[in-house]
Amino acid sequence: MLSISRRSGAPFMLIALFEVFGFAILSIREGALGLAEHLIDPMGIILMAGALFLLILQYWLLPALFRYIDRYVMILYNTLFAVGIVMQYRLNAQIAVKQMLFFTIGLVAMAVIIGIFQSGWLHEGRRWLYFSAGLLLLGVAMVFGTVTRGARNWIEIGSFTLQPSEFAKVALVFVLACYLREKRRFWGYTPLFAFVGISVILLVLQKDLGAALLFYMTFLLLLYVATSNWGYLGAGLGALAVGGVISYKLFDHVRLRVAVWQNPWSMVDDGGYQIVQGLMALVSGGVFGSGLGLGSPKYIPAYRTDYIFAVISEEFGILFGVLLIGLYVLLVFRGAAIARRANNAFHALLALGVTVMIALQSFIIIGGVIKLIPLTGVTLPLVSYGGSSMLSTMMLMGILLAVSQENGRADAETLDEAYDEEEWDEEDGDDNYQEDDV
């Protein structure tokens, strides 16, 4: 990508400016409101320095390590993270420190993925590795999982907790790219159907409906993109409708979610409280917001994770929320552009898989918060608090950047290698073109 490599300075400066203003205002909040002894919270200054350091480090180091990675994607994920980290600091300083740590680990994981991808180790021949990794992660959650907010999708390792379904998303993207890169007859896709079927059933049994919907829709959209077969898409959507009806009949929590979505106001004390508080937060903020640190986010359950969009819209305003959605849209367009420029079907499907996953996840949670669709608990990528979510999203960004790196390298080397390997026959220079003399 030519132009962005030299024009990314201004957007990076804007991200830095946002972080400086955000942390500066919030670091004096508690002192000004009489909640702390000192006027300035040193943690805010430390976090600001940390966020700026990570931004500058990425700006210089990543393109130095990987010359052709797409800085456009870098700007977008850094903007989303900047909004998220400022909001997390506003909600709880300790949580913000953890979130920054998760982002740092995520950056390392992203760089490692780009490096491994560049070495050629993550190729389409390792389908059984991706296949077994995905099922193992979901199986572990099923067997050893602990129940958190109704879903059995967390496992505890010592003092750490992990959400394996988040990492299974990365495996799913690889499995889909491996199986869909070449056209097959219907039965040729049987292992893929089995993988997706088992994954979705395990997720539904764990009551992780958001992840189940995300897995299934990613599979369906990629299947359609790879095969251009309307029959598969129609049958898939039909199966989704049938599955939805069966889940509605079988599971109480699904019936409750739908009822709450239809009329949360009539069920405020019986499951509708979260949606009502979220909607009230959106309305109370108005177009321009109540001001950073002046809202009442803690009335909303899951305000740090699933409902972070409502919290952001309350304090920064609905206009800001719309712009935030716009950034996800740009990320989706960019991902599609990277997929379109890919050198082979495997790379194209990997990039598209990541893009579809991010697009669906953002749509599912923002749609749930604004009551467009029934609420299912997934995180808002790069903004919500959560180590597993942050790490898996950064791994997905790593895949996208790795494909962009491969695209750029192939483009530039096509011309360079032609000249490195072949010497121009000087005699031919004039002789072959004599007829064109003017």
Question: Which residues form the interface with other proteins (CB under 8 A)?
Answer: 1-4, 6-7, 10-11, 14-15, 17-18, 21-22, 25, 28-29, 31-34, 39, 67, 72, 75-76, 79, 83, 288-294, 315-317, 319-320, 323-324, 326-327, 330, 333-334, 411-413, 415-416, 419, 424, 426, 429-430, 432-434, 436-438
By beta-carbon proximity to other proteins, the closer residue of 11 and 139 is 11
Q: How far is the CB of 137 from other proteins (least distance, A)?
A: 34
Across the beta sheet with 151-157, the strand order is 146-148, 151-157, 160-162
By beta-carbon proximity to other proteins, the closer residue of 105 and 411 is 411
Q: How far is the CB of 11 from other proteins (least distance, A)?
A: 6
By beta-carbon proximity to other proteins, the closer residue of 182 and 416 is 416
By beta-carbon proximity to other proteins, the closer residue of 25 and 259 is 25
By beta-carbon proximity to other proteins, the closer residue of 108 and 294 is 294
**What would the two tokens of residue 267 be?**
């069920």
By beta-carbon proximity to other proteins, the closer residue of 124 and 315 is 315
**Which H or E element spans position 146?**
strand 146-148
**What would the two tokens of residue 235 be?**
């049958």
By beta-carbon proximity to other proteins, the closer residue of 167 and 328 is 328
Name the nearest CA neighbour of 123 among 164, 188, 53, 181.
181
**What would the two tokens of residue 245 be?**
């009806």
CB 169 within 8 A of CB 396: yes
Q: How far is the CB of 332 from other proteins (least distance, A)?
A: 12
Chain mean position to CA 379: 9
Q: How far is CA 438 from CA 255, 427, 431, 432, 434, in A?
A: 81, 20, 14, 14, 9
CB 261 within 8 A of CB 371: yes
CA atoms within 13 A on the CB side of 85: 34
Q: How far is the CB of 417 from other proteins (least distance, A)?
A: 10
Q: How far is CA 170 from CA 203, 250, 263, 343, in A?
A: 15, 30, 36, 21
Q: How far is the CB of 330 from other proteins (least distance, A)?
A: 5
Q: How far is the CB of 410 from other proteins (least distance, A)?
A: 12
Name the nearest CA neighbour of 378 among 165, 217, 221.
165
Q: How far is the CB of 291 from other proteins (least distance, A)?
A: 4
Q: How far is the CB of 258 from other proteins (least distance, A)?
A: 34
By beta-carbon proximity to other proteins, the closer residue of 205 and 287 is 287
With left for phi above 0 and alpha for psi between -120 and 50, is residue 97 left, alpha or beta? alpha
